[in-house]
Chains A and B, each alone.
Chain A
Amino acid sequence: MDVFLQQLINGLTLGSIYGLIAIGYTMVFGIIGMVNFAHGDVFMVSAFIGLIAFLLLTTVLGITSIFLVLAIVLVVAMIFTGLTSWAIERVAYRPLRGSFRLAPMISAIGMSILLSNFVQVAQGPRNKPLPPMLPDVIVLMDNNGYQVTLAYKQMFIMILTAVLLGGFWFLVQKTPLGRAQRACEQDRKMAALLGVDVDRTISLTFIIGAMLAAVAGVMYLMYYGVVNFNDGFVPGVKAFTAAVLGGIGSLPGAVLGGLLIGLIETFWSAYFSIEYKDVAAFSILAITLVFMPQGLLGRPEVEKV
């Protein structure tokens, strides 16, 4: 029970991060039907931007309030990651829109390779460690020395995720931008005919997805205290798995999928073997797609003859 509770907390934390990245995949897939392969690397870039901002604020400007630092880091990471993602869409995907289906996919793979190697060249190949942030924990249970703890940073991650999702839901459901987005998802041509600026809507989709990934990136940095140029691929694939598991195109699905993947991964590591945790995640991806391609909350696709 105590191990279970601890893993539940850890899993939900990890799942929040995956869920935030997964939204980026699901939104882009929903609106232009492409798997944005570079999204995982955008997440990694955002963690690096967060790292630089953190160092700048603490070592150069000497700000000591950790919450102020985190708030500024989040905003900075969101702005610059949004800009990066906008530029990627502009340069690598938009010229290929409406062409050959494979072309944007290859372009996205190229972008993914480009981003991770760019960071490697610009920031060096070694792990970048940070001093631990918010190290305090709340002891929830003490069972003969085995303490079930909830770290402040875990709490921070979960609360921030919940707040962001609320805001994000409002954005998609209640604002003109969200309406334009949903219209483009249904029928891009028709939306354009009705006066929706499709290019702008798609750009904004990329920016919003990247901003959420940036929050995930900063959380990742804060949670693990270390980041490496290679850290985009595996979380990226897992977040994509989450999006698929939840039903790609469905926003609540992405979050649900993220939480599930986070839980499965932590429980698998705790109860089975930590070496095979990635195998477990990839297997779930394959199994979901094979047996339930529409995911948990997605709509089944009827084949048009």
Chain B
Amino acid sequence: MRRWETDPILTVDHLTMRFGGLVAVNDVSFTVGRGDVTALIGPNGAGKTTAFNCITGFYKPTLGRLALAHGGAPTTEDVEALTAAGQAAATTQAGALFLLERLPDHKVSSKARVARTFQNIRLFSGMTVLENLMVAQHQKLIRSGLLSPSALLNLPSWRRQEKEGMDRALHWLEKVDLVERADDPAGDLPYGDQRRLEIARAMCSDPVLLCLDEPAAGLNPRESAALNTLLLSIRADYGTSVLLIEHDMSVVMEISDHVIVLEYGKKISDGTPAEVRSDPAVIAAYLGVDEDAVEAVEAEVGL
């Protein structure tokens, strides 16, 4: 079943990002299926992280449309109408529709509910593990206002709210197996724990789409396996769609439903892991030769 074709949560159309004269992403289109684990792969410098930064609102794309749908697949008319209206968000029959390129970065997270992690981990290292998870629930906790009197005076209604937040944080601590370290500064955790904490923190902001930038980088095989389990559980138990950039092919092939391959800012392949694996263009990209020469090289290295 190709969910990314029938029920896309994110539709990327003609995404282009230029930095001065450099075209980092060049007219890339793809879709991300709701409830899928989608992997974005490609050699170094292929434009994966740039595409990611556009999706999560940190860069404003030079060209292109990034349509994110809550609830269910949007109709083409809905998307076109919203694009033409010049607005960033609209409610549709299925739920809500957002054009991410029109939202400021913090609203990509708070309104469109896209969460992300970073290639070089960005935890609040001077705050404790628990505090990190509480910060992630900022949106939920400020429903009654940024300086709500109930929180200022520590009224029971606020304490109830805070308790809920604590419980959610605890749930995720259990999930990533960090309950014992809850009161330690995040900066004191070992690398693998920091990676998991960053994912837990992103999940605490209650996203519909979780974007992970090289989550397995620097993990040992055991940690990597645990990560796979965690990601599959995120998809299965919370219905959160996962989009990840990854170099570790074991992670990519094992857990993803859909793989998109970029090279030099262009999409060269798109399909299920099995399809992509046998695509000559992908093999050429990874081996660094022209497509025509793939067979020769494969023969040479004994594939």
Interface residues of A (CB under 8 A from B): 302-303, 305
Smallest CB separation, A304 vs chain B (Å): 9
Instruction: Tell me the B82-129 residues at the A interface (CB within 8 Å).
Output: 118
* B33-70 near A? 1/0 per residue, CB < 8 Å: 00000000000000001000100001100000000000
Smallest CB separation, A216 vs chain B (Å): 36
Contact yes or no, B19 A302, CB < 8 A: yes
Q: Give 4 closest A-B pairs by Cβ, nearest first.
A: A305-B58, A305-B53, A302-B19, A305-B118
Interface residues of B (CB under 8 A from A): 19, 49, 53, 58-59, 118
Nearest chain-B residue to A304 (Cβ)? Answer: B120
Q: List 7 A-B contacts (CB under 8 A).
A: A302-B19, A303-B58, A305-B49, A305-B53, A305-B58, A305-B59, A305-B118
Residues on A with C-beta less than 8 A from B59 are 305
Residues on A with C-beta less than 8 A from B58 are 303, 305
> How far is B60's CA from A302's CA once the two chains are assembled, in angstroms?
12
Nearest chain-A residue to B56 (Cβ)? Answer: A305
Residues on A with C-beta less than 8 A from B19 are 302
> How far is B48's CA from A305's CA once the two chains are assembled, in angstroms?
13
Residues on B with C-beta less than 8 A from A305 are 49, 53, 58-59, 118
> How far is B50's CA from A305's CA once the two chains are assembled, in angstroms?
9
Nearest chain-B residue to A302 (Cβ)? Answer: B19
Smallest CB separation, B44 vs chain A (Å): 16
> How far is B19's CA from A302's CA once the two chains are assembled, in angstroms?
9
Residues on A with C-beta less than 8 A from B53 are 305
Residues on B with C-beta less than 8 A from A303 are 58
Residues on A with C-beta less than 8 A from B118 are 305
> How far is B50's CA from A302's CA once the two chains are assembled, in angstroms?
13
Smallest CB separation, B94 vs chain A (Å): 31
> How far is B195's CA from A105's CA once the two chains are assembled, in angstroms?
34
> How far is B118's CA from A303's CA once the two chains are assembled, in angstroms?
14
Smallest CB separation, A101 vs chain B (Å): 14
> How far is B49's CA from A303's CA once the two chains are assembled, in angstroms?
14
Residues on B with C-beta less than 8 A from A302 are 19
Nearest chain-A residue to B52 (Cβ)? Answer: A305
Smallest CB separation, A305 vs chain B (Å): 5
> How far is B108's CA from A305's CA once the two chains are assembled, in angstroms?
15
Nearest chain-A residue to B49 (Cβ)? Answer: A305
Smallest CB separation, A303 vs chain B (Å): 8
Nearest chain-A residue to B118 (Cβ)? Answer: A305
> How far is B55's CA from A305's CA once the two chains are assembled, in angstroms?
13
> How far is B53's CA from A303's CA once the two chains are assembled, in angstroms?
11
> How far is B59's CA from A303's CA once the two chains are assembled, in angstroms?
9
Smallest CB separation, B13 vs chain A (Å): 22
> How far is B58's CA from A305's CA once the two chains are assembled, in angstroms?
7
Smallest CB separation, A116 vs chain B (Å): 36
Nearest chain-B residue to A303 (Cβ)? Answer: B58
Nearest chain-B residue to A300 (Cβ)? Answer: B20
Nearest chain-A residue to B122 (Cβ)? Answer: A305
> How far is B17's CA from A302's CA once the two chains are assembled, in angstroms?
14
> How far is B58's CA from A303's CA once the two chains are assembled, in angstroms?
9
Nearest chain-B residue to A305 (Cβ)? Answer: B58
> How far is B19's CA from A305's CA once the two chains are assembled, in angstroms?
14
> How far is B118's CA from A70's CA once the two chains are assembled, in angstroms?
60
> How far is B105's CA from A303's CA once the two chains are assembled, in angstroms?
13
Residues on A with C-beta less than 8 A from B49 are 305
Smallest CB separation, B227 vs chain A (Å): 22
> How far is B19's CA from A303's CA once the two chains are assembled, in angstroms?
12
Smallest CB separation, A210 vs chain B (Å): 37
> How far is B229's CA from A268's CA once the two chains are assembled, in angstroms?
69
> How far is B122's CA from A305's CA once the two chains are assembled, in angstroms?
10
Smallest CB separation, B267 vs chain A (Å): 22
> How far is B19's CA from A216's CA once the two chains are assembled, in angstroms?
40
> How far is B57's CA from A303's CA once the two chains are assembled, in angstroms?
13
Smallest CB separation, A183 vs chain B (Å): 24
> How far is B19's CA from A46's CA once the two chains are assembled, in angstroms?
45
Smallest CB separation, A131 vs chain B (Å): 57
Smallest CB separation, A91 vs chain B (Å): 30
> How far is B19's CA from A290's CA once the two chains are assembled, in angstroms?
22
Smallest CB separation, A102 vs chain B (Å): 15
> How far is B60's CA from A106's CA once the two chains are assembled, in angstroms?
37
Nearest chain-A residue to B116 (Cβ)? Answer: A305
Smallest CB separation, B7 vs chain A (Å): 29
Smallest CB separation, B228 vs chain A (Å): 26
> How far is B118's CA from A302's CA once the two chains are assembled, in angstroms?
17
> How far is B11's CA from A227's CA once the two chains are assembled, in angstroms?
68
